[in-house]
Structure 1
Amino acid sequence: MKLKTFVILLVVCCALGGVAYFTMYQKETENKQVKMGEKLFPDFPVNDVAAITIKSHEDSVALKKGEPVWVVENRFNYPADFSKITDIVKKLKDSKLGRSFKADDEKRSRLALYGPEKEDMPEDQRGTRLTLEDKKKKILADIILGNPREGGGHYVMHANADDVYMVDQIFSFLDKKPDEWLDKELTEAKSNDVEKVVCTDPKSEKVIYTLKRPEKGKDPEFANLPEGKKLKKSKANSLFGAIGSFRIEDVADPAKEAGETGLDNALCFEYHMFDGTVYKVYPGTALNNDNDKFYLKMSAAYVAKEKKEEEKKQGEEEKAVADEETSKPEETEKNEVELSAEAEKLNKRISPWIYIVSKWRHDNFVADPEEFFEEQEVKKEESSDQVKKLEVEAGKPELQVIPKAELESPEPKVTSEAKTEKSEAKTETPKAEAEAVKSETESETESQAETQKAEAENQKPKVENQKPKIGIQPSE
């Protein structure tokens, strides 16, 4: 065979092979488009996932599977919320395809399917990149999450492909900040289980105040309540409830100096639970850049309860029950061992950290005992007497002294109009009453003065007739 013929045959074979490959690829793509309901990741190895990275245009999260628990790697390896990790992995595993199509620049921009690292693109056109790896750093999934689809579903792309998929799961609520992946539930304590709270100054070891429940189910009482003071129940209940379902906002760098957090001068709030567990809380100062958040530390321990002598039991049945309970020392000792072990485990988890809590939670730890007392109310009687005294003092210059003779004189007749005015004046204020009395007194004085004047006029002629005898006689 000639060389020229061989070359021609080779070219023809390559061309036929290309056509066949293109035809098969197109047919396979069409079949994939038709097979709606397939998994985005068939046979996804859930148990092999050892690291998760979430990147957006504004922040990133690095989650890592540690020896005991998952941790937030870029949050000082603080324990992560395992339920949220389980949720995101399950969503990926269960994601089913709706339809797919080729991506172009217009579709990527409209559906926000550019990678977050594309800094030359607008932020609203960049999606969130979600990457899952195993222990050997092998990539198990690497996708770009775009916009959610109206009516349900989400648009996604494989990071290094051009196909856009619409899946049935929604990833709109995927958190993209490290603090949102922290395990924020610090304790499972309940406020009703708090027996007493003791506030102390660790430096001087001085007890500032103590509040205690006389028994479980009762309201807290202030120890050594000052005379004349009344406990503000709402404030006491807030203090006892501060430890219940305690949640944090964030964690600070464990290497941060105590002087920066105010923990070097923090008071200690000891929460003694009925089961013997003791929590110690140390509230610090506010953050320099956020006055609505505060630093805080916490620890836990177990203190065995002192056994009290049994009180006298009434009735044979109650005594039998009491004897049965005290006849199980092994069970009681086992419970104490379990409680001690749980407290030690909890302390290892919470004591090394500097927490950041909200202002409203921080304010529940009251430092000043005076805040627990009701404000003293002024007695109404004393207030009324003071008002009357002021009114009398204010009216003193206007009072007139009535001569004794006038006071002894018979009371003049009061007309019906005067009586009406007098009755109306009684309904007015004390000051109006004083003015009414003054007006009545003045009217009485004027009436008496007119009577005396009339009598004087009747006597006037007699005086005038006697004038020549008294005066100087004219000369003849």
Structure 2
Amino acid sequence: MTSKKLIGMVIALAVLAGIALMQNKGGNKHRADMDKTAATLLQGLDLNTVDGVAIAEGSDSVELVKQDGKWVVGSLFNYPADFKKLADALRAASEVTMGSPVRSANVDAAEFGLDKAKSIVLKTGGNDAVKLAVGARREASNTAGWANQHFVQKGGADDIYLVDYDFRPFTEESDDWIDTELINVSSSDIVSVKAGDMELNSVSNTWTLADLDEETEEFQSSEANKLRMALQYLNCTTVADPAMTDADLGFTNAVAYTASTTNKSYTVTLGGEADNGRYLRLSGDVPEKVNGWTYVVSTYEANDFLLTRDKLVKAKEPEEEEAN
């Protein structure tokens, strides 16, 4: 091999090495960019360590706290929180990617709606772990489509991101974080109902009123069905303040309702009127979570427990005498 060819090969190898080095640097840069792009909304946060969530928007706020291994709504008298709602919201948020910052240096944060942002703070060990400011929703367009995209700022940093996520699960209303279903007893399982001075019984799958005067009264089974179905999908709207007295809640003149199956009994006690509803308590063979609490149910739901006897019967029409 001539010296000229040898020099040529050395040069070629040097060029190839340089290309490989450049490609490697470019590859690393590309991977770094990819890693940055793939950063998630809750990057670095172990969801299992979260023991507090504070959400605020405008004048409304809610605080969720983990106490003795159970989540409660601190802003609603420490009533048990619906853990599934919270877990689903956190899990979904943890999978949201951040993308690249969208803020321009000469654009004020208010332009992204961050002057009136929703605040979401996740805590671990009682300390703030992740702080999010959720600004305006990006307007729909032919390009953006109908995406749930919001401008987000993390921990007060300068960078603002456009995040494709619907933040409505992180509601600032305390009532939205509780399981509003109180009890669900199938009407077909109910065999007797006592409400006030009335008693209804199921005899051979036919409902009767205990003191019905069959000569002068007709039983209104459609109205009676409301009493029989009152415990089916019974929901509350909120929880009453435990510090309120029976007099405050109208339980000094309470109305009692008891429904029974073949082996269980459920008692509903109705108090006075509340905002957009009525106060209610449950006892008997009810879920443990509802014992000891006073709820507010809608007027519509409460009315089914308040049916009076005159709604369940009507006077029989006198029989016409046959002509001779």
Q: Normalising by structure 2, report the TM-score.
A: 0.80
Deviation per residue, 1:30-77 (Å, 9 max, x gap): 965895343223343011111100011121000011225311001111
Q: Quick one: distance in 1 between partners of 2:32 and 2:69?
A: 45
Displacement of 1:145 after TM fit? Answer: 1.0
Deviation per residue, 1:186-224 (Å, 9 max, x gap): 113222211111124xxxxxxx11111124xx2422113
Q: Quick one: distance in 1 between partners of 2:136 and 2:249?
A: 41
Q: Quick one: distance in 1 between partners of 2:35 and 2:50?
A: 31
Select 1:360's aligned residue among 262, 281, 300.
300
Deviation per residue, 1:114-146 (Å, 9 max, x gap): 2xxxxxxxxxxx011000111x22322110011
- 1:76–1:88: structure 2 CA closer, same or farther, 3 Å change rule? same
Q: Answer yes or no: is 1:145 the counterpart of 2:141.
A: no
Q: 2:272·2:279 contact (CA, 8 Å) conserved in 1?
A: yes
Residue of structure 2 in register with 1:213 after alignment: 202
Letter in 1 for 2:93: L
Q: 2:260·2:266 contact (CA, 8 Å) conserved in 1?
A: yes
Q: 1:148·1:170 contact (CA, 8 Å) conserved in 2?
A: no
- 1:214–1:64: structure 2 CA closer, same or farther, 3 Å change rule? same
Deviation per residue, 1:403-429 (Å, 9 max, x gap): xxxxxxxxxxxxxxxxxxxxxxxxxxx
Q: Which has the higher strand share?
A: 2
Q: 1:148·1:171 contact (CA, 8 Å) conserved in 2?
A: no
Displacement of 1:162 after TM fit? Answer: 0.9
Select 2:272's aligned residue among 266, 274, 285.
285
- After TM superposition, the structure 1 = structure 2 runs for residues 33-432 of structure 1, keeping only pairs within 5 Å, are 35-67=36-68, 69-102=70-103, 106-114=107-115, 126-134=116-124, 136-149=125-138, 150=140, 151-152=146-147, 153-200=149-196, 208-215=197-204, 218-227=205-214, 228-274=216-262, 276-287=263-274, 290=275, 292-301=276-285, 346-347=287-288, 349-374=289-314, 376-377=316-317
SS in 2 for 1:236: helix
SS in 1 for 2:64: strand
Displacement of 1:366 after TM fit? Answer: 2.7
Deviation per residue, 1:75-111 (Å, 9 max, x gap): 1111111121012211221111233123668552232
Q: 1:99·1:165 contact (CA, 8 Å) conserved in 2?
A: yes
Q: Quick one: distance in 2 between partners of 1:137 and 1:367?
A: 49
Q: 1:96·1:169 contact (CA, 8 Å) conserved in 2?
A: no
Q: 2:183·2:233 contact (CA, 8 Å) conserved in 1?
A: yes
Q: 1:270·1:278 contact (CA, 8 Å) conserved in 2?
A: yes
Percent of paired sites with the same residue: 27
Letter in 1 for 2:282: M
Displacement of 1:230 after TM fit? Answer: 1.4
Q: Quick one: distance in 1 between partners of 2:56 and 2:38?
A: 28
- Give RMSD over aligned pairs: 2.6
Higher relative contact order (CA 8 A, sep 6+): 2
- 1:263–1:164: structure 2 CA closer, same or farther, 3 Å change rule? same
Letter in 2 for 1:277: K
Q: Quick one: distance in 2 between partners of 1:230 and 1:372?
A: 8
Letter in 1 for 2:199: T
Displacement of 1:166 after TM fit? Answer: 1.5
**Bigger CA drift: 276-285 or 353-362?**
276-285
Q: 1:33·1:99 contact (CA, 8 Å) conserved in 2?
A: no
Letter in 1 for 2:265: V
Q: 1:197·1:270 contact (CA, 8 Å) conserved in 2?
A: yes
Deviation per residue, 1:334-370 (Å, 9 max, x gap): xxxxxxxxx5xx24x2221111110000100135211
Aligned residues: 286
Residue of structure 1 in register with 2:25 after alignment: none
Q: 2:183·2:232 contact (CA, 8 Å) conserved in 1?
A: yes
The gaps in structure 2 that reach 5 residues or longer are 1-28, 141-145
The gaps in structure 1 that reach 5 residues or longer are 1-27, 115-125, 201-207, 302-342, 383-476
Q: Quick one: distance in 1 between partners of 2:200 and 2:128?
A: 56
